[in-house]
Structures are given as structure tokens and as C-alpha cells.
């Protein structure tokens, strides 16, 4: 299913970069080779970043963020095992997820190798659905620039005749389901599901519920799961439940991303706060829910020296791409139809709770 | 700690802007180019950060971090649903693309200097992002280094292959790029005004002063045009159905002096001519004031014929004898004679006559033993003056005196000012005379007729009073015209044609004088007799006017020429 979800977006990039701007997207299968900057990492930010870097008409206006007129290469979290991000650069293991993305960025800066490959200069931006957390450091070599606010909720597949059982749950009920103390809600025997172990969504979800902070849990599914995140089609059994990025659900329901909502799956409500409001096609984030502890700011991570005007490595173009106050940037949350923020809202993101960049990872 | 990080990040953004913005302003500011009318529609440039309208002449970074968006319309204060910002779909066009080209090559994709990406048009193209640093395909570095004048905009195409796509429509503006820095600015749109016309109904009222007057005299017509605001424009004055004159309104009113032409009702009206005052274009809006025409109701001025009182009969000269002299004495001091009589006559009203043939000099009252009377119309020589009882005709006293100067000849002068148009190709019983009109005649608004400047007008009315019913010597009204002068330029008096007109003739038993043959403009000859009255007649009161035509000889310099016309009434 990943192929179905991700490939079409990647293809658009590939066509424009490899064949020249006047080419119609052909049925080629290739990842982009970027003439400018490269972003890797989180699956959660992937769809909206693809929209911004490849161009999107979601707001009615064509919005495409460029680097001095050049296309930005945004690499999906999943796909072929290896990627080549820049011409003449090496093929290296595809960074899958937030943590992998940040690690690849560090390897690109420090030349320390990524999964055994020297990728110096091959990665410029890491997508991260997690904050710097414990890695925050006032003298850090990286800087986390807020990108938008997402929220994690759950998606369920109801049992016929008992549709209301899983529609609205409390944090206590969800915690009981994921630590194994609860197996039934109402008349529904719950089939608890969770994304694969590297998923940022899984990690955050378990932490939000107070089950664990490292992504471990005592359920058998937690050790065996290979389930991709944000894929509703994985819920084939009635009574199933799985954590899900609300932004991703909204983007799929609104038609800006290939939908996986193919089998009657529904978005759950936690503690009485709806994660999204409106109807499919015009879903918007539930502001109250995004403001709870289930909400999370997401980030683009870059090397601090390259956006610090006082540093010899300063790169005005990269600084422009992640300058929150600049309307033409990736991190802008301007609401006009020509601005990135309006696109991100269509993809289920609200403005981050803070626009303050956070430095992290000192070495 | 987070605070300090925020500042650093903000600096990163601001620093990038400053580097590009400051340099060009110092020495390399790009100048705004002229507007290119070959675009299929005007293009407005909007600041990407807030979609505000950018101003021509603004220095913009090559790779402005705010972004620049194009729009078919200026952005309104209330952005609303952004429908104002959409370039509409066009039949046959399937894709659009941003481009930058040399002027004249906007519709030749293979000649473009820079371009963006082909995008489907769909329901339109909403505020597309287009600026030089954003158009990454082609040779942006070369354009930036070379600078110069370019067209920048979007093209609607029928395909997405550069080599074969045809440009269906191209919407662009002209930009000037500063060499090296790439700083650029764009041309100002021509002023486009939305015109609103406001109708103002008007009312025209007409008044005359006086409303009754002798035929040949003048009355002043005043037209007042009112509306919700002060009315500008012209008023046409009509006498009956004949347009008399067109006069510009001043503070809503216009006046015209007209000659009362006939006895009885003289009907006048005034018509305000429909007028539109075109307003100025301010903030793309223009208001024109349309003043609707209106006509006054008819106004009647009553023309009267002056009453003519013929002189009373006087005793014959043989009644003046020693018995009727009553010790009176007479003396003459030009132009008056004084008859000194017995103080017993003081307070007595008497008729005064001069002899040989009795000439009525008027009715006076004896005061301080004398009467004094104007005798200027008597010829030089010996005369008698007598006072007569008005009722009985008895001579109360008389005496002789000698008049030392000749009879006065009534005369007046008028200055005639005649305009010459630009562009003429060689071309160009009292026995009295009273002027009833002004002292100046202005012949204005000349027309070109067969290349010559021709202007016409009226002399203005005057009257001859001849009540000499006993002697009936007759008279001649002589006319002379000086040459016309403008500085050192002169025009011969032959240029002035005069056609005598009789306005009114009154007096029981009076004989109408004979009008002179009209003098034809261009071949006129002066002196010339306006009118004559043969001996054996008296003419009563005759009111005259004359039509004037002034034809400037070919080659006369334009301007106003001045001459003097002199009318002199000479008794036979």
C-alpha cells in the first residue's frame, strides 16, 4: 500500500527534475535528484511537504516553494531501499521517519556516515514530527524550526450494530486498551493495533497514554507489528483500533493525498474533543483537540550554522526556506491562498503552538 | 535560551533581506520602465506576504523572500474570496507557465530567458507566484548579470512542451533589472478610471429690466439656472424663435442686453444648454456631472413708441411791434439767449419763440425778470425772441439779439472695435441726434468665409428728432469711418459695410427720411449719407439701427482692430 500512497507524489518530482520542466510526468519510477536542497525524514510531514515542494493547487492558487528558483527534493520516508539525493552523490539507505531523518542530517553535516555510507552534503533538511525533547541544547549544532501542529488520535473500524462503542473514548480507556487491562468496550471486542516500532506516531501515542516513553508495550502486537502508520486500510477487522496522525487523515479525506480510508474506517474522539470537524473534502482540524496533550508541534531541522548570518557557513537561501516570518518559506503559516500555511492547513496542520526555533544536538 | 535562538533565526531571515535590499538603493536602483500595451491584459503585482498592491518603482530583490504574486486586478482592502485575483480560463489554453523574456518575445517560448513550470489552468489561475528569482529554468544567472528590460508574466499555452506549445494569451508587465544585483522594478499601469455620471436637473428662470421701454432702447435679460449644485455652462437667449446670443454662466446666471425691437409684446426666452463637466480621475474613479438642459418660460417685454408733442402755434412776426415789446431786452451768450422782461412777469409760464419764422424753443417760467433758452439750432445773424401767453397767444414781450455763431450740427461718435479671425489666408424739432445704445460696438467671433475673415453685428440704435414743421429745411445724416488700426497694422475703412435699418418712425404729418444705399463690405466708400430728408419736410422722431459687416482683406494679421464711426446730422 505504500507504493500506492507515496509513489504518485514522488513521480511528480522525478519528472520535473529529471526530464526538464516542460515534460509531462511519465510513468517512470525514480526518486528525485535535487539541484538544490534535500529533505528527508518523517512520514507525517511528507504529504504536505510534497505539496509545497512539487506545487499544490489545494488553496486554489498554485503554491510551490523553491530555492532560488530551483526545485527542492523531498524524499518520502518509505519506498525503494536506497536513494540518491543529489547528482553524482552516493546511494544510501532511505531515512525512514523522524529520528532517521535527523540522524541522516547529522551524518551529512559531520561526515560520520549513515548506515555505512558517507553522505556528506547529501541532506539539508530533516522532517521531524517529534520535538528536540531531551536533545535540546542552547549551543546545539542543529535547529528545530516549527513547521505546523498535528495531533494524534485513533482510527477504528466499528462492529456492525455497535457503531458507537469505539466512536468516543477516554484517555483512561485507551490506556487500558494499550496496556492490556481492557479488551472490550461496550459490546465490541477490541482488536488493538499499533504501527511498526520505528514510528514516531507510535512512540508519541504510547507516551500520551502514559503506557511508555520509548515505544515499548506489553502487548504482543507491540513487538511483532510491521504495520505502517497512517494507513487506514490496514484495519480490515471490525473492532480494530490504531493511532493515526490527524493531519494525515484530513489530507486523505480531503483528497489531497491518496486515501487509505477504503473500508468504513472512522476517526475517533478522545475525551470528548473531535480531532477533525466538517465533512470529507472540507475537513478541518479540531482546534480544541489540537490544543490538548495529543497535539504536537512538528519541525523542519537544519544545521544552525547555515541559518546564522554571523556564521561563515551562512546560506541565505536555506535560511529563507525555513524562516518562519517569510511568506515564501516552508515554515510560514500565512493564511493567504498563495502561502504555505494555507496549504498546510488543507493537509490537516494548524499553526504551531510556538514559532520559536529550538537548538539541539551539540557536538 | 529559546529566546536567544529565536533572535538568531529571525536574523537569518532579515539578514538575507537586507543584503539584497540595501545595495541597489545606493547606486544601482533600477528605474521603472514604460508600460507595455502589448500584454493581453494588465497585470498587477502583489506583495506575497499580504497581497497588498506593489508600487511601480519599488526596488525588489531578485529573489525576494516575500514573494510576488500576479493578479488581473488590484487587490481590494477586503480580500474576500480572492475572485478578483484569478486570471480566467481562455478557450484553447490548457496550461499556464510563468516566464521572463525580452520585450516582443513573450509569445515565443523557445526565446524566453527564464520560465517556471507548466500547470493546468482548471477554473483559472489564482494569484500565481512570479518573480525573476523564482523562475528557475532557463538562464536566470545570465539575466541577473546582464540586467536590462524584460517582460515578466504568465503565458496561457495549448501544451506543455516548450518546443511545440503555442501561447494563447500572455499577461505580463515590463521590468527593469539592475545588472549584477538583479534588483528590479516594474512599470506603472496606465491610469484606468471608472467613470460615474451624475445627472443634475436644472431650472432656468428669465427676468428683464426694464419690462417696458421705448422701441429701440435696450432691456437687460438675466437668466438664472439653478440645480442642486452651481451650474456651469452656456445660456442661449432667444427673441421669439431667433437666437440672439450665447452667454456663459457666471455663478449660475447670465445677462444679455437686447434692443426692444417692436411695439407691443417682445417675447424672450432663455435656454440652458445641456452640459457635462468631466471630473478628474482620483483613485481610479471619476465622477462626471451632467447638467440637463432646461428652457425658461416666455418673458414679455412691452415696446412703446415715444409720444411726439408737436410744437404749439406761435404768433406771426408782425405781432412783434413796439406795442408788444414791453421794454424787453435780449442778449446772446452761446449757446443761450437771455430775454430780460418786466419783473411783473415773474412766475408766469410762457411759450418761447424765435423769429423770423416762429421757432418754438420750449415752455419756461419767467424767473428774476428773465428767461434763458438754448438757441444753438439758429443760424448766425439777427433774430428776435418773444414770450407768448400759452393760452391767449398774446405776445408778452420781445426783443432782438444777434447770434454770432453758426447753427450747431448734432453729432455723436461711436468707437467700433472689429475682430479679425486668425488664419485668414490672403484674405481677410427740436432738431437733434440722440444715441440710444452704447458707445462701443464689438464685432466678435469672426468666421472664415472663402478664406476671408468676416464678422458682423449691429451698430446699435439712435434717433433723429426733427420737429421743424414750419421751416422744413430738410437734413442730411452724414457718416464717416476712420481706418481700422491695430498697432502698426491698418485696414481701410472700405472693409466696413453698413446697411441702414429703420426701427421706428413717428410724428403726425412727419415725412420718413430716405435711407442711404447700403455700403458693401470691402467696397465701401466714406463719407456717406446714412439718411436724408429733402427740404419741405420734417421727419418727426426717426429711430435707426444698421447692420455692420466687416471683411478683413486677405493677409490681415489677426487681432482686434479699432476704428471710429462718426454720425453727424446736418441741416439743409
Task: Kindly provide the ipTM of the predicted complex, given to two decimals.
Answer: 0.80
User: CA of A226, closest CA in chain B: separation in Å?
Assistant: 38
More confident residue, A225 or B339: B339
Report the C-alpha gap between A261 and A256 in whole angstroms.
Answer: 13
Contact B129 A338 (CB under 8 A): yes
Residue B136 pLDDT > 60, yes or no? Answer: yes
- Supply the pLDDT for residue A226: 83
- Supply the pLDDT for residue B420: 57
Contact B127 A21 (CB under 8 A): no
Residue A116 pLDDT > 90, yes or no? Answer: yes
User: What is the DSSP track for A240-268?
Assistant: EEEEEEHHHHHHHHTTSS-----SS-EE-
Residues in Cβ contact with B517 at an 8 Å cutoff, skipping those fewer than 6 apart: none
Of A236, A260, A290, which residue is a domain's last? A290
Contact A327 B67 (CB under 8 A): yes
**B window 155-184, beta carbon within 8 A of A:** 160-163, 165
User: CA of A302, closest CA in chain B: separation in Å?
Assistant: 11
**Closest CA in chain B for residue A68:** B133
- Supply the pLDDT for residue A32: 66
- Supply the pLDDT for residue B429: 61
All structural domains of chain B? 28-186 (no CATH), 195-304 (2.60.40.10), 317-403 (2.60.40.10), 411-571 (2.60.40)
Contact B12 A319 (CB under 8 A): yes
Tell me the average pLDDT of chain B. 85
Among the partner residues B86, B134, B161, nearest to A22 by beta-carbon distance: B161
User: Does A250 lie in the same domain as A118?
Assistant: no
Of A290, A309, A325, which residue is a domain's last? A290
Grid look-up 435780449 returns B330
Averaged pLDDT, B258-262:
88
Residue B298 pLDDT > 50, yes or no? Answer: yes
Q: Cβ distance B559 to B413 under 8 Å?
A: no
Mean pLDDT is lowest, of A81-90, B51-60, B547-556, for B547-556
Strands B203-209, B234-239: pairing kind: unpaired
Contact A62 B140 (CB under 8 A): no
- Supply the pLDDT for residue B280: 78
- Supply the pLDDT for residue B3: 32
User: Does A163 lie in the same domain as A37?
Assistant: no
Between CA B96 and CA B105, with CA B99 as vertex, the angle to 5 degrees is 110
Residue A5 pLDDT > 70, yes or no? Answer: no
Between CA B558 and CA B564, with CA B562 as vertex, the angle to 5 degrees is 155
Tell me the average pLDDT of chain A. 86
Digit-coded pLDDT (tens) for B454-502:
888 889 999 898 888 777 888 999 999 999 998 888 888 999 999 999 8
User: Does A83 lie in the same domain as A179?
Assistant: no
Question: How many CB contacts within 8 angstroms connect chain A with chain B?
Answer: 144
Of A252, A271, A290, which residue is a domain's last? A290
Among the partner residues B4, B48, B163, nearest to A327 by beta-carbon distance: B48
Cis peptide before A19 (omega within 30 of 0): no
Among the partner residues B11, B160, B163, nearest to A24 by beta-carbon distance: B160
Digit-coded pLDDT (tens) for A12-55:
333 233 222 222 222 223 456 777 899 999 888 988 999 999 99
Averaged pLDDT, A200-215:
86
State how many domains chain A has: 2
Mean pLDDT is lowest, of A40-54, A294-308, B60-74, B274-288, for B274-288
Among the partner residues A70, A319, A358, nearest to B136 by beta-carbon distance: A70
Residues in Cβ contact with A269 at an 8 Å cutoff, skipping those fewer than 6 apart: A153, A167, A168, A169, A275
Report the C-alpha gap between B351 and B394 in whole angstroms.
Answer: 10
Chain A within 8 Å of B139 (Cβ-Cβ)? no
- Supply the pLDDT for residue A27: 25
User: Does A275 lie in the same domain as A155?
Assistant: yes
User: Does A90 lie in the same domain as A45?
Assistant: yes
Report the C-alpha gap between B327 and B339 in whole angstroms.
Answer: 11
User: Does A71 lie in the same domain as A18?
Assistant: yes
User: Does A329 lie in the same domain as A307?
Assistant: yes
Among the partner residues A68, A329, A358, nearest to B133 by beta-carbon distance: A68
Digit-coded pLDDT (tens) for B393-428:
888 999 999 988 887 776 777 777 666 555 433 332
Give B392's pLDDT tier (boundaries 50, 70, 90). Answer: confident
- Supply the pLDDT for residue B104: 94
Chain A within 8 Å of B1 (Cβ-Cβ)? yes
Mean pLDDT is lowest, of A29-43, A52-66, B37-51, B180-194, for A29-43
Averaged pLDDT, B181-197:
84
Q: Cβ distance B281 to B191 under 8 Å?
A: yes
**Closest CA in chain A for residue B132:** A69
Contact A68 B50 (CB under 8 A): no
* Chain B positions in Cβ-Cβ contact with residue A63 (cut-off 8 Å): 129
Q: What CATH number should be reported for the domain holding residue A166?
A: 3.40.190.10
Which of B101-115, B278-292, B329-343 is predicted most confidently? B101-115
* Residue of B1, B2, B3, B5 for testing the chain A interface, max A β-carbons within 10 Å: B5
User: Does A70 lie in the same domain as A113?
Assistant: yes
Find the domain containing A97 and state its range: 2-148+296-360
Q: Cβ distance B255 to B222 under 8 Å?
A: yes
Contact B117 A329 (CB under 8 A): no
Give A1's pLDDT tier (boundaries 50, 70, 90). Answer: very low
Q: Is B265 helix (H, G, I), strand (E, B) or coil?
A: strand
User: Does A172 lie in the same domain as A62?
Assistant: no
Mean pLDDT is lowest, of A7-11, A28-32, B77-81, B525-529, for A7-11
Give B191's pLDDT tier (boundaries 50, 70, 90). Answer: low
**Cell triple for residue A276?**
477533525
* Residue of B9, B86, B96, B100 for testing the chain A interface, max A β-carbons within 10 Å: B9
User: Does A244 lie in the same domain as A165?
Assistant: yes
User: Does A119 lie in the same domain as A46?
Assistant: yes
User: Does A163 lie in the same domain as A182?
Assistant: yes
Contact A324 B9 (CB under 8 A): yes
Amino acid at each position: 500500500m505504500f507504493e500506492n500512497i507515496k509513489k504518485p507524489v514522488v513521480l511528480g518530482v522525478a519528472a520535473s527534475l529529471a526530464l526538464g520542466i516542460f515534460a509531462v510526468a511519465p510513468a517512470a519510477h525514480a526518486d528525485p535528484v535535487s539541484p538544490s536542497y534535500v529533505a528527508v525524514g518523517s512520514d507525517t510531514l511528507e504529504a504536505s511537504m510534497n505539496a509545497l515542494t512539487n506545487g499544490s493547487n489545494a488553496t486554489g492558487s498554485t503554491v510551490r516553494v523553491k530555492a532560488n528558483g530551483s526545485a527542492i527534493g523531498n524524499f518520502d520516508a518509505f519506498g525503494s531501499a536506497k536513494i540518491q539525493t543529489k547528482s553524482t552523490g552516493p546511494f544510501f539507505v532511505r531515512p525512514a521517519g523522524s529520528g532517521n531523518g535527523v540522524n541522516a542530517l547529522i551524518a551529512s553535516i559531520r561526515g560520520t556516515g549513515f548506515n555505512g555510507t558517507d553522505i556528506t552534503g547529501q541532506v539539508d533538511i530533516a522532517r521531524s514530527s517529534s520535538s528536540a525533547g531531551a536533545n535540546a541544547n542552547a549551543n546545539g549544532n542543529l535547529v528545530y524550526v516549527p513547521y505546523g501542529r498535528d495531533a494524534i488520535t485513533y482510527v477504528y473500524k466499528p462492529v456492525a450494530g455497535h457503531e458507537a462503542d469505539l466512536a468516543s473514548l477516554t484517555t483512561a480507556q485507551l490506556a487500558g486498551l494499550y496496556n492490556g487491562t481492557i479488551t472490550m468496550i461496550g459490546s465490541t471486542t477490541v482488536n488493538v493495533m499499533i504501527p511498526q516500532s520505528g514510528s514516531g506516531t507510535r512512540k508519541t501515542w504510547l507516551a500520551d497514554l502514559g503506557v511508555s516513553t520509548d515505544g515499548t508495550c506489553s502487548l504482543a502486537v507491540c513487538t511483532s507489528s510491521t504495520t505502517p502508520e497512517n494507513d487506514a486500510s490496514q484495519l480490515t477487522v471490525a473492532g480494530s483500533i490504531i493511532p493515526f496522525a490527524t493531519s494525515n487523515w484530513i489530507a486523505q479525506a480531503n483528497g489531497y493525498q491518496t486515501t487509505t480510508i477504503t473500508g468504513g474506517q472512522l476517526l475517533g474522539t478522545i475525551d470528548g474533543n473531535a480531532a477533525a470537524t466538517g465533512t470529507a473534502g472540507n475537513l478541518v482540524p479540531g482546534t480544541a483537540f489540537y490544543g490538548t496533550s495529543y497535539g504536537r508541534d512538528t519541525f523542519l531541522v537544519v544545521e544552525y550554522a547555515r541559518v546564522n548570518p554571523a556564521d561563515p557557513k551562512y546560506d541565505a537561501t536555506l535560511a529563507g526556506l525555513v524562516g518562519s516570518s517569510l511568506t515564501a518559506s516552508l515554515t510560514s503559516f500565512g493564511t493567504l491562498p498563495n502561502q504555505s500555511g494555507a496549504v498546510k492547513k488543507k493537509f490537516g496542520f494548524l499553526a504551531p503552538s510556538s514559532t520559536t526555533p529550538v537548538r539541539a544536538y551539540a557536538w | 535560551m529559546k529566546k536567544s535562538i529565536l533572535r538568531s533565526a529571525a536574523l537569518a531571515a532579515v539578514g538575507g533581506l537586507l543584503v539584497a535590499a540595501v545595495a541597489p538603493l545606493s547606486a544601482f536602483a533600477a528605474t521603472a520602465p514604460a508600460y507595455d500595451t502589448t500584454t493581453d491584459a494588465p497585470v498587477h503585482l502583489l506583495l506575497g506576504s499580504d497581497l497588498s498592491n506593489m508600487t511601480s518603482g519599488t526596488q525588489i530583490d531578485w529573489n525576494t523572500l516575500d514573494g510576488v504574486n500576479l493578479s488581473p486586478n488590484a487587490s481590494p482592502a477586503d480580500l474576500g474570496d480572492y475572485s478578483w485575483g484569478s486570471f480566467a480560463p481562455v478557450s484553447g489554453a490548457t496550461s499556464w507557465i510563468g516566464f521572463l523574456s525580452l520585450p516582443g518575445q513573450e509569445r515565443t517560448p523557445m526565446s524566453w530567458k527564464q520560465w517556471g513550470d507548466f500547470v493546468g489552468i482548471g477554473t483559472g489561475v489564482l494569484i500565481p507566484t512570479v518573480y525573476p528569482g523564482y523562475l528557475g529554468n532557463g538562464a536566470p544567472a545570465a539575466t541577473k548579470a546582464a540586467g536590462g528590460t524584460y517582460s515578466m508574466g504568465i503565458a496561457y499555452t495549448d501544451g506543455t512542451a516548450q518546443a511545440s506549445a503555442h501561447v494563447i494569451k500572455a499577461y505580463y508587465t515590463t521590468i527593469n533589472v539592475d545588472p549584477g544585483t538583479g534588483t528590479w522594478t516594474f512599470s506603472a499601469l496606465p491610469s484606468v478610471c471608472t467613470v460615474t455620471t451624475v445627472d443634475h436637473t436644472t431650472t432656468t428662470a428669465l427676468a428683464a429690466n426694464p419690462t417696458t421701454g421705448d422701441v429701440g432702447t435696450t432691456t437687460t435679460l438675466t437668466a438664472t439656472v439653478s440645480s442642486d449644485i452651481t451650474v456651469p455652462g452656456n445660456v442661449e437667449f432667444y427673441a421669439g424663435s431667433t437666437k440672439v446670443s450665447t452667454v456663459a454662466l457666471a455663478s449660475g446666471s447670465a445677462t444679455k442686453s437686447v434692443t426692444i425691437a417692436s411695439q407691443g409684446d417682445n417675447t424672450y426666452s432663455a435656454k440652458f444648454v445641456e452640459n457635462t463637466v468631466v471630473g478628474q480621475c482620483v483613485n481610479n474613479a471619476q465622477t462626471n456631472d451632467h447638467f440637463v438642459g432646461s428652457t425658461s418660460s416666455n418673458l414679455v417685454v412691452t415696446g412703446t413708441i415715444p409720444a411726439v408733442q408737436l410744437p404749439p402755434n406761435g404768433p406771426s412776426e408782425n405781432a412783434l411791434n413796439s406795442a408788444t415789446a414791453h421794454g424787453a431786452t435780449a442778449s446772446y451768450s452761446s449757446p443761450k439767449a437771455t430775454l430780460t422782461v418786466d419783473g411783473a412777469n415773474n412766475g408766469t409760464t410762457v411759450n418761447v419763440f424765435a423769429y423770423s419764422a416762429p421757432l418754438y424753443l420750449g415752455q419756461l417760467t419767467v424767473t428774476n425778470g428773465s428767461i434763458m433758452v438754448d438757441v444753438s439750432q439758429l443760424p448766425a445773424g439777427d433774430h428776435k425772441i418773444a414770450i407768448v401767453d400759452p393760452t391767449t397767444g398774446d405776445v408778452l414781450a420781445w426783443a432782438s439779439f444777434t447770434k454770432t455763431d453758426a447753427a450747431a450740427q448734432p453729432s455723436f461718435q461711436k468707437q467700433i472695435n472689429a475682430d479679425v479671425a486668425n488664419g485668414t489666408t490672403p484674405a481677410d424739432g427740436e432738431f437733434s441726434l440722440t444715441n440710444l445704445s452704447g458707445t462701443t460696438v464689438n464685432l466678435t467671433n469672426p468666421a472664415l468665409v472663402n478664406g476671408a475673415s468676416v464678422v458682423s453685428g449691429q451698430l446699435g440704435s439712435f434717433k433723429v428728432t426733427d420737429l421743424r414743421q414750419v421751416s422744413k429745411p430738410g437734413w442730411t445724416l452724414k457718416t464717416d469711418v476712420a481706418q481700422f488700426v491695430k498697432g502698426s497694422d491698418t485696414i481701410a475703412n472700405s472693409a466696413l459695410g453698413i446697411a441702414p435699418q429703420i426701427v421706428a418712425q413717428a410724428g403726425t404729418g412727419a415725412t420718413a427720411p430716405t435711407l442711404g444705399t447700403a455700403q458693401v463690405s470691402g467696397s465701401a466708400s466714406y463719407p456717406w449719407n446714412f439718411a436724408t430728408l429733402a427740404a419741405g419736410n420734417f421727419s418727426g422722431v426717426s429711430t435707426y439701427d444698421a447692420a455692420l459687416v466687416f471683411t478683413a482683406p486677405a493677409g490681415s494679421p489677426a487681432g482686434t482692430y479699432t476704428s471710429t464711426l462718426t454720425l453727424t446730422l446736418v441741416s439743409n
